[in-house]
Structure 1
Amino acid sequence: MKWAVISVTQKGVKKALEVSEKINCDVYTLPKYSVCGTIPMESGFKKGVEDIFYRYKTILFIMASGIVVRSIAPYIKTKDVDPGVLVMDEEGNFVTSLLSGHLGGANAACEKIAEAVGAVPVISTASDVSGSTAVDTIAIAIKGKMDSLEKAKHVTSLIVGGERVSLKLPENVVLGEDNTAGVIVLSNRKELKISQIIPQNIVVGIGCRRGTSKESIIEAVENAMDEANLHMDSIRIFATVDLKGDEVGLLEAVRHYGKELTVISREEILPIEDNFEGSDFVKKSIGVKSVSAPCALLASKSKGKFITEKMRHDGITVSIYEEEIRRDG
């Protein structure tokens, strides 16, 4: 994904264009400093920052950090949604990770840009300084979602403080075996800080009749997830057959969860359709025997297993496929 690089001086624009030669980015500046390769902030710096702030995953400001802090302050929400914000001086001597170092990726971006332009990276998050690992860093590594930022902060503070913190992994992280449904903690501590990371490794396959409502699909999905004792935040994507790729209710249901819909062609399903429970009526109607289960399998990106191969609910079929969790790198 592209970065945004913002500068409001002639010298800063020159440095921003140097950055653009190394990093895929859009360079923004004030109209009076705009040259070929830059985008003028026609409404001014303050309004320009507002317009840009949540359109990019990473934003690099080439200017004084005080200006940056004041300009972004009104738009900061929480670190699980804020972009990674960096600041670099006009000479390109130092680049600082300012906001959302872990979840927003500012720390990693800081290292990347520093290497690209020969700057010194400045990273001040406690876990990085102490050489320890934060809860949100683990979440990023497995593409998981934390159940609570507050809990994660408490547990990370224990790690940084040198306390012993156990990392309990379900067996399927390595072996792909049954996931754990509970944890027994043996401790003489009066209070334990616990933070849950929810892996986003569930693919939900959907089959439905034409004209099925958004509400019906949401109800079917949530019933199936509840029955399987799975967190809704663990859903990575939804999948369906090509004939249903424009189904309004399905598209609205997928948007309701903020996820993407992967469309699987019938040609892809045909070679594996006999591996699943199927229907001759469905075969006659659309050309394949089954929809939800093969779509879930084909939309997955790693080995795994079906938690629910097919659950029926008012003419809707839901299949739940759990992918193995693999740590990046």
Structure 2
Amino acid sequence: MKLSIISFTENGKRLSEHIQKVLDKDMSVCLYTKCNACQNQESSSVSFVTVPVGNWARKQMEEKNALLFVGACGIAVRAIAPSLTDKLHDSPVLVMDEKGTYVIPILSGHVGGANELAHRIGEKTGAEPVITTATDINQAFAVDVFAKRNGLSIENKDGIVKVSSKILAGASVTMSIETGHTTTKKDCATRNHLPDAIQLIPYPPTEAVDIVITSEEGTFDTTILLKPKEYIIGLGCKKGKSLEEIQNFIQKKTEELGIKNQEIFALASISQKSKEPGILTWCQKERIPFFTYTAEELQKVEGSFQSSAFVKEQVGVDNVCERAALKACQEGGYLISSKHAEHGMTIAVAKRKWRIYFYDK
């Protein structure tokens, strides 16, 4: 995740620089200011914004960046309002006062991760996170958080409010999970505690159910349908490949396989690519996690791979894309598309064995 911070006063600018420093190892942080008094001050890390704040916010949101306004909530609300789409696609937006006392997520707290980011900033700066989402303050089951943690796509976003409202009213919700994809009885007994609000129903359900989780096609009488993100893209590339090149390369392969971006669980590569701009930008734009592994970790992955002596000489392992895709599957995954090379890039696709957890793995 890339965080863009905008300040409006000298105190706010200093606070933004402090936040950048303490978050340096966690994420990429870019600083901006609209403080006129700061315009002529020398700073290599802070960019002065000459366009209206709303224009700046629109550009950041189009790039799927997280936004932090160091200033009044009203400024943030007016700036982001014209660019809002829906709760599954909006950027996470937070507000912080210039003294660093409070940090408040105001948009995309769950799916976008604004609540989680507020806690992270609070831990690093001492600011108090002000969380207003009802499921959080009532410590209740949140279906959108549950979906995100389990790598599930939400097929009908309107169901989120209906399910959450039912839980907050004190009622239980029914859930039916495709057979073979819940955790084992041993896990359930030791650490996989079912939330009190959830009542499991055998799959396939024979009557109306609140939540259905399945990879199967079909029509279900359900309030919210969750589908597993089953595919992992393994990618290798020469340094400096552009976003457009990477995007077109991935799109060509996924269209060939009939895979939609919302079905992709993660993109995986070797650790040398952990800061590759084109890959990072694509993953952020699509909200797809990016996993990287060392050459030693990839070399230990078992299987039959298209080996390259040249690649091994360059990065220390004979194959990046196939090994990385399988490594990200953890266990039970398999390749559905082996290595394909084109224009200095390689790609492979694996299908993972998905499983539902009711706790943080």
Q: Specify which of 253, 257, 261 is matched with residue 221 of structure 1.
A: 257
Distance 1:268 1:77, change over 3 A: same
In the other structure, the counterpart of 1:302 is: 330
Q: Distance in 1 between matches of 2:233 and 2:23?
A: 35
Shift of 1:310: 8.1
* Unpaired stretches in structure 1, ≥5 consecutive residues: 206-212, 226-230, 240-253, 275-281, 284-290, 312-317
* Equivalent position SS for 1:167: strand
Residues 59, 220 of structure 1: alpha-carbon distance in 2 compared, 3 angstrom cutoff: closer
Q: Counterpart of 1:194 in 2: which secondary structure?
A: strand
The residue correspondences of 1:168-207 to structure 2 (distance < 5 A) are: 168-170=176-178, 171-174=180-183, 182-185=203-206, 194-203=223-232
Partner AA of 1:52 in structure 2: Q
**Residue pair 2:54, 2:79 contacting (<8 A) in 1 also:** yes
CA contact (8 A) 1:4 1:56 kept: no
Q: Deviations over 1:53-86 (max 9, x none)?
A: 3335421111111111011101111121111111
Alignment partners' CA distance in 2, 1:214 and 1:324: 22
Moved more, 95-104 or 15-24: 15-24
Does structure 2 conserve the Cα–Cα contact (< 8 Å) formed by 1:296 and 1:321?
no
What per-residue deviation string (whole Å, max 9, x for no partner) do you get for residues 239-270 of structure 1? 9xxxxxxxxxxxxxx99xx68999xx9x9799
| C-alpha contact 2:6 2:31 (8 A) present in aligned 1 | yes
Q: Where does residue 173 of structure 2 map in the other structure?
A: 165
Q: How far apart in 2 are the matches of 1:215 and 1:59?
A: 28
Q: 1 CA distance for matches of 2:72 and 2:144? A: 28
Per-residue Cα deviation, 1:81-102 (whole angstroms, up to 9, x for no partner): 1111111111222211101110
- Does the aligned pair in 2 maintain the 1:86–1:98 contact within 8 Å? yes
Identity of aligned residues (%): 24
Q: Which residue of 2 aligns with 1:26?
A: 30
SS in 2 for 1:132: coil
1:66-81 aligned within 5 A: 66-81=74-89
2:96 pairs, out of 85, 88, 99, with 88
Cα distance between partner residues in 2 of 1:54 and 1:3? 13
2:136 alignment partner, SS class: helix
1:169 alignment partner AA: I
Distance, in Å, in 2 between the alignment partners of 1:86 and 1:261 is 23
Quote the offset at 1:198 in angstroms: 1.7
Map residues 15-164 of structure 1 onto 2, 5 A cutoff. 15-24=15-24, 25-30=29-34, 32-34=37-39, 35=41, 36=43, 37-164=45-172
Task: Find the aligned partners of 1:186 and 1:47 in 2 and give their Cα distance.
Answer: 49
The reply to whether residue 273 of structure 1 matches residue 304 of structure 2 is yes
| Code of the aligned partner of 2:3 | W
Mark the CA change 1:319 to 1:64 in structure 2 (over 3 Å): closer, same or farther: closer
What SS is found at the alignment partner of 1:124? coil
Q: Which amino acid aligns with 1:45?
A: V
CA distance in 1 between partners of 2:181 and 2:22 (Å)? 39
- Comparing 36-45 and 78-87, the one that deviates more: 36-45
Shift of 1:123: 0.9
CA distance in 1, matches of 2:94, 2:110: 12
- Report the AA paired with residue 229 of structure 2: Q
Give the C-alpha shift of residue 143 in structure 1: 2.3
Cα offset, 1:194, TM superposition: 2.5
Secondary structure class of the residue paired with 2:175: coil
